[in-house]
Amino acid sequence: MIHDYLIFGGVFAIFALITISIYLYNQNQSFKKKNIKLSETNKLIEQRLNEVQLEHIGTKLNPHLFKNILNSVQSHAYQTYMSLDKLANVLDYILYESNNKFVSPKEEFSFALSLIEINKIKINPLFDFRIKSKIDKSDLMYEEKVFAPLISVDLIENAFKHTDFLSQDSFISIQLELENRIFTMKVSNKASLKNVLEKEHSGFGSQSLDQRLKMIYHNFYNLNKSSKNGIFTAELKINLGEFSDKVRYTR
């Protein structure tokens, strides 16, 4: 009789242990599902926040860009026809293409060159202005939608805004490159000796560029700024290939 009770007790204990284990397992799975849902919700919220921030930056950037461009055209009426032709290209890009999350490097290069031509009318024809482009049109990224629109604006605008045009050795140098799926933009200029770095970091444009790059390209970009002997240099590199691979992989 005692032996039967011991057997029954053992079976009951095993049954209870199994029941508790199943309950704990189900609870654990339930918690895991809830954590996954919370994680997904947090990602959606973070993604939307980034989009809102980018939209907010865009609303400030475009009027600022319009103002600078129109001032350039207005101050040099004798070149109005050429300016308006370039301005039409720039405005089309801002109004239509910049609303897209990504454009192709081909489209951004065309916009950057038009923007440079508009800014050039502000300077003396004898001014030392250098522009060099090394664009591999066979590059896989050349026509891919991987480039955040208007990324090139800040570096171009700052070069013209902060250059000391009265200095005899003054210059502006702009280099654009797309090679091996990597975009590079290097801008150098003889800057005003007064508060060079302070000026460069005080404007909205510089801050918005840093914010956009961090939110969009994360670890796939590098932006270096330096000042030496009155020459300010900014170099931006974006590994469009690795960024594109990651975006494609995570979809």
236 and 185 Cβ atoms separated by less than 8 Å: yes
Structure tokens at 163: 């250059």
* Range 66-250 has CATH code 3.30.565.10: yes
Digit-coded pLDDT (tens) for 113-161: 988 888 887 777 788 999 999 999 999 999 999 999 989 988 998 888 8
Question: Residue 236 pLDDT more than 90?
Answer: yes
Task: Please state the pTM of the whole predicted model.
Answer: 0.67
- CA dist 170 and 166 (Å) reads 7
Task: Decide which of 21 and 124 is more confident.
Answer: 124
Q: Give the per-residue pLDDT at 127.
A: 87
Bridge partners of 176?
A: 133, 185
Instruction: Tell me what the mean pLDDT of segment 24-38 comes to.
Output: 59
Q: Which helix (H) or strand (E) holds 168?
A: none
Backbone angles phi, psi at 183, to 5 degrees: -95, 135
Candidates 167, 150, 176, 165; CA nearest to 120 is 165
Q: Give the per-residue pLDDT at 12.
A: 46
Digit-coded pLDDT (tens) for 181-220: 999 999 999 886 654 544 444 443 456 788 889 989 999 9
Q: Give the per-residue pLDDT at 229.
A: 84
Give the sheet arrangement for strand 221-228, strand by strand: 128-135, 171-179, 182-190, 231-239, 221-228
Structure tokens at 61: 């950037």
Positive or negative: CA dihedral 92, 97, 98, 104: negative
243 and 209 Cβ atoms separated by less than 8 Å: no
Digit-coded pLDDT (tens) for 52-96: 555 555 545 555 666 666 666 555 555 555 666 677 777 778 777
User: 214: Cβ–Cβ under 8 A, 6 or more apart, which residues?
Assistant: none
Three-class DSSP category at 114 = helix
Candidates 134, 148, 137; CA nearest to 243 is 148
* % of the chain at pLDDT higher than 70: 59
